[in-house]
Structure 1
Amino acid sequence: MTDDLLSRHDVLLADLDGTLYRGPEVVPGAVEAVRGAADRGVPTVYVTNNASRSPGDVAAHLRELGFPARVEDVRTSSQAAAAMLAEQLPSGARVLVVGTAALADEVRARGLTVVDGAADADAVVQGHSPDTGWRVLAEAVVAIRAGAVWVASNVDLTLPTERGPLPGNGSMVQVVRTAAGVEPQVAGKPAARLLREGCGDARRPLVVGDRLDTDIEGAHAMGAPSLLVLTGVSGAAELLAARPKLRPTWIGTDLAALTRDPDDLAPGPRPGWDVTLDGATLVLTGDGTGDEPAVDALRALCAAAWEHGTDDVRGDGSAAATALRELGLADRAGR
């Protein structure tokens, strides 16, 4: 068997938005990577915090984009949120749904009753919907203040799209949190539940995602290794400043990293680059001899930043300056 990252794992727990696609567009190479993993006996479970679509709709969309996806391969935060409610409420309990029809369907599937007003609500469940407005948020606040159980499908502040990051469910949750003065229970990542449900009987899962505060933190929560791909939300600056629970095991440009040597993907010294400390500033020097000079520089910088507790960086030499510019890290020294 090839001694690459994929050979160490028996299931991929893959995020969707920003990892496999951005809006309607496939991330280049993602289909080939997922299909290649399946050909080697490593299935992909599609684990998404987005509660706006049903598992069936998500699977259909993935198949349209070329991914091998069955309904049972999809795990959504709407499923996890409805399960959390059912564990705490009696059959038939009344739930105010702040979200789409897909979220409401998951609630009904658990034997609970969907209502549209605060007066009748035993619980509130909140998931992403582009149509969420003030009136339903106000009903949620009234219900929560009256003691209703509150479950949020996820608390992602932004949602990656082809137009860039746009407000996610977490932004709307923050509105309710501010007005109600209550913290929600969270069903999706970074809580471990959604990822564990996707793991099934697998013993060597790999969490793959684009976001430190959901995918990577979720991997830490379930005690699994993680691969951060640089195709979505989290970038170099966020990586350098990451607290321990947000640090990935491996860093890849994209999903092609699955077929690379894990040692080449790990944060740490990289051929062609040196990182030294000048006061509180990391100084990058070298010529980047690897296949991915900028990302190799990032791997070296991350190890040094995490060791020394600083994310100030500057480059010494044209190759270093070019790498920092490609990473969006130019002009960060002495901030």
Structure 2
Amino acid sequence: MSKWKAYLIDLDGTLYHGSRMMPGADELIHAMKLNHIPFLFVTNNSSRTPGDVALHLQQMGIPAEEDEVCTSAVAAAEYIAAVQPGASVAPIGEHGLVEALKAAGLSLDTGQPQFVVQGIDRTFTYDKLTLTARWIAEGARYVLTNPDLLLPSQEGLMPGAGTISAAIVAATGAEPVVIGKPSKILMQHAMDRLGVTADETAVIGDNMFTDISAGAHAGCGTILTLTGVTHRDNFQELTRKTGVEPDIVCENLDEVRALILNRSN
């Protein structure tokens, strides 16, 4: 196990649940900043801009800046801009996705787009599904910000971007390029921003299917924190289902902080 010098940190389930900060999250980030340990907040959430995410963290008492946030929407936009600079794109998503596409120099086009980029869209309709199916049938390439089937909310679970994608795939037969976790594309995007390699990087998260699998696919180290989706009772089952084992398991964020500080010395 190499000496990790940079960390990609998941948000919901790891640092907070909804609008409730997990114990020790503020101390973890304070300690990393104080010790100049490189990190990024990395999220599959495509609905918020990096500024929105940073503000949400700040409101809970977690120190965060906009340039420390890496979203699947930004990674998707920059992926397309690298493949085809200035491409025309039809967004199926919310504010965070639209702003990311604009920032990457892509042109929004709901006529004959070269790409369809889809994320969470809580105003998704049959008409949008129809348009998307037609765009893809006419040759548009399909990019999915993240494959999450369900999302937590204050009222309970709600359908995620992956559920919408299932309808699009059923209608078109087109499999999307997936950007967010468990894909390694989002991880590589974050590492490129930090200027580090996979063997210098560890992913911190609570979800075996997304965070830990993404880290493993990207060749990074993995630190599982038992603060969210994964806990002692389901750990063995999730390890079997994912075929992935984390390098280190921590009970809480205090253990994560101690681990990182010890490894940085």
- What TM-score does the superposition give when structure 2 sets the normalisation length? 0.86
Partner of 1:171: 163
Of 248, 251, 258, the residue aligned with 1:250 is 248
* CA–CA distance in structure 2, aligned partners of residues 18 and 218 of structure 1: 16
* CA–CA distance in structure 1, aligned partners of residues 45 and 244 of structure 2: 20
Q: Is the 8 A contact 2:41 2:70 kept in 1?
A: yes
Larger Rg: 1
Once the two structures are superposed, residues 182-210 of structure 1 have per-residue CA deviations (whole angstroms, 9 ceiling, x without a partner) of 11001112222222232313453221111
Matched, 1:148 2:146: no
Q: Is the 8 A contact 1:239 1:247 kept in 2?
A: no
1:90, CA displacement in angstroms?
4.9
Change in Cα spacing, 1:167 to 1:235, as seen in structure 2 (3 Å) is farther
Of 69, 92, 98, the residue aligned with 2:64 is 69
Aligned residues: 254
- Unaligned 5+ segments in structure 1 are 263-335
Q: What does 1:1-335 align with in structure 2 at a 5 Å threshold?
A: 8-91=3-86, 93-116=87-110, 119-199=111-191, 200-202=194-196, 204-236=200-232, 238-241=234-237, 242-243=239-240, 245-260=243-258
1:44, CA displacement in angstroms?
3.1
Change in Cα spacing, 1:232 to 1:48, as seen in structure 2 (3 Å) is same
Structure having greater relative contact order (Cα 8 Å, sep ≥ 6): 2
Partner of 1:316: none
Change in Cα spacing, 1:231 to 1:65, as seen in structure 2 (3 Å) is same
* CA–CA distance in structure 1, aligned partners of residues 258 and 151 of structure 2: 29
Aligned residue type for 1:225: G
Q: Is the 8 A contact 2:225 2:256 kept in 1?
A: no
Aligned residue type for 1:227: I
Q: Is the 8 A contact 2:31 2:257 kept in 1?
A: no
Q: Superposition RMSD on alpha carbons, in Å?
A: 2.4
List structure 1 segments (4+ residues) > 6 angstroms apart after TM superposition: none
Once the two structures are superposed, residues 188-242 of structure 1 have per-residue CA deviations (whole angstroms, 9 ceiling, x without a partner) of 1222222223231345322111111211111112211111122222344553132
- Deviating more after overlay: 162-171 vs 68-77: 162-171
* CA–CA distance in structure 1, aligned partners of residues 161 and 218 of structure 2: 23
- Unaligned 5+ segments in structure 2 are 261-265
- What TM-score does the superposition give when structure 1 sets the normalisation length? 0.69
* CA–CA distance in structure 2, aligned partners of residues 18 and 163 of structure 1: 16
- How high is the sequence identity, in percent, across the aligned residues? 35
1:245, CA displacement in angstroms?
4.5
Once the two structures are superposed, residues 32-67 of structure 1 have per-residue CA deviations (whole angstroms, 9 ceiling, x without a partner) of 222123223324310011110111111122122222
Aligned residue type for 1:196: Q
* CA–CA distance in structure 1, aligned partners of residues 223 and 72 of structure 2: 21
1:150, CA displacement in angstroms?
0.5
Once the two structures are superposed, residues 90-137 of structure 1 have per-residue CA deviations (whole angstroms, 9 ceiling, x without a partner) of 52x321100012211211222222133xx4222100011333333222
Change in Cα spacing, 1:45 to 1:16, as seen in structure 2 (3 Å) is same
Once the two structures are superposed, residues 241-276 of structure 1 have per-residue CA deviations (whole angstroms, 9 ceiling, x without a partner) of 3246432112222212224569xxxxxxxxxxxxxx
